Amino acid sequence: MAPLSRRRLLVAGGVGLAALAGCTIDGAFGGNGSGSATPSPARDATLERWLQNRRAPYFIGHRGAGDVVPEHSLPSYLQALDWGAEAIEVSVVMSSDGVLFCHHDLTLDRTSPLSGRANDYPAHVLDDTPVQIPRLGPYWTGEAMPRLPRLEAVLDEIGGRAVLCIEPKLDAAYPALVETITRRGLASSVMLKLDATSPRIPMAKEAGFAVFGYLGNMDVATPKAITRLAGALDPRTDAIVLPSRSVKGLLPPDVVAHAVATEVPLWLFPVHRRYEVDYFTQLGAQGMVTPDLGYVNGSLPAVATDRWRAGRISAGELTLDPYGNRFGLQWPGEGVVGLAFPDRPSFLLLGNTNPLPQPSYRLSVDVCYDPLPVDRWQHISIAFGHADDRYYEHRMGESDGYHAILRADGQMGIFAHTAGDRDGEALTASVLTGSLAPGTWSRLTLTVGPDGISWSRDNGTSVRSGDSRFRGGYVHIGSSASDGRLLVRNLTVS
């Protein structure tokens, strides 16, 4: 699916919402350019039809397209639709005067310039409140900045175009939400998203709604709680939804197996990476609630150059925690992204270019440190040859592959790394190429072929290894340092 056009995103961001009903998916108004009227989007999505046609793994847009577009904004929901979402998760809060708005948190502090609870503000204030998530790029802080959308406006645009899994984030919003869904004739295409402890689950079932029943974190997702939740749900229409991971790693296989054994369809949230889909599907899970649907489901073709000049993150560009501002990309200048996670190494999956073609490719990129790390032994690294897209960090010891490095003191080398071993294996002697200076760019080129690897710097120095053990297509770029800042630009793959 094509990404949303700039014009369409501007409109969805709060300018002329009423006109959206006449938009085509590429942002043209009132026609298709040939003089004929543009057909309205199909509005025949129902839960029943989705249940009949879906095949595991199937994908539900989390916060719309929350990895790449400001979450729970109308542009985010539209992007999920453009990526082919057949179901979208929607969160709802209420203003002080009883108007429903789409927003994840009960408070406004995390994603807007306002502070405090959403339900302390009247609708006319929330109408003009921008959704601000700087890690997604400066594009979203300019004229394309979306506003908090009213639920009514969202339903005007996407109601009936996908199954909507709608959650009232505060209990007081539940009656108004049910009334709005019913009045608009959307009950057949809506699941109510409710916490496992919510007393509203039996009410929702009594009213005929399917339920997206969730346990919000690993601490509460115990076998006992899963069994209790399953007992309140209908395996024909409902879903048990569990957190995909904690700081310790992915949801353990025994917990997944326990949920699968209840025979209520198991969904996981949020799923950011393709290897997570494989892991959970092999264990019997069916639904993947993902904020990066176009990347995770593999429908977006790999690109040959970065898109950083657009000032926005791309699908598949993933840090340690794609939802965490602590690990977000920095945007210090046009076409430049910065990596500087606090107190730990910083790496970025180049998922929009992955998987790279096999067995041969060339990757080139401009890099610099600004400032330099204190320890000049630390290095800029391209980690490659990985069979899947799990997060890579220097000395993490979770993947088989290679890392080609340029140390701050100018030494270059190629290393192999294997799962279960934190120490790398030097494949070349280090070559001293001249110390790095803060803010001074170097162009690095990695060339991978069937029988060898070449790693070169634009000052004419290079190293080569004949190792050919690993030829996976997933690549990360990053810094091994816990200080300094790595800047990256002009990425190309050929």
Whether residue 288 sits in one domain with residue 398: no
Whether residue 368 sits in one domain with residue 291: no
Residue 171 falls within a domain, yes or no? yes
Residue 158 falls within a domain, yes or no? yes
For the residues of 295-331, what is the DSSP string, one character each? HHTT-SPP-SB--GGGTS--TTEE-S-TT-GGGPPEE
User: What tokens does 284 get?
Assistant: 């019997």
CB burial readout 379-388, b (16+ within 10 A) else e: bbbbbbbbeb
Which has more pLDDT, 475 or 12?
A: 475
333-343 residue pLDDT tens: 999 999 999 99
Q: What is the pLDDT of residue 38?
A: 56
Beta carbons of 400 and 385 less than 8 angstroms apart = yes
Whether residue 407 sits in one domain with residue 326: yes
* 148 secondary structure, DSSP code: P
Residue 348 falls within a domain, yes or no? yes
- Indicate whether 174 pLDDT > 90: yes
Residue 340 falls within a domain, yes or no? yes
Whether residue 279 sits in one domain with residue 172: yes
Q: How far apart are CA 38 and CA 43, in angstroms?
A: 15
pLDDT band at 151 (very low <50, low <70, confident <90, very high): very high
Count how many residues are written for the chain.
494
- Whose tokens are 């690549």? That residue is 475
User: What tokens does 113 get?
Assistant: 């310039």
Q: How far is CA 397 from CA 355, 373, 388, 390, 424, in A?
A: 21, 23, 14, 12, 9
Task: For residue 266, give the H/E element and its range.
Answer: strand 266-269
CA-based end-to-end distance of the chain: 23
Instruction: Give me the chain's average pLDDT, please.
Output: 92
Domain end marker among 240, 270, 296? 296
Residue 313 falls within a domain, yes or no? yes
Residue 178 falls within a domain, yes or no? yes
63-104 residue pLDDT tens: 999 999 999 999 999 999 999 999 999 999 999 999 999 999
Beta carbons of 315 and 82 less than 8 angstroms apart = no
- Indicate whether 50 pLDDT > 60: yes
Domain with 353 in it: what CATH number?
A: 2.60.120.560
Q: What is the mean pLDDT of residues 480-486?
A: 98
112-124 residue pLDDT tens: 999 999 999 999 9
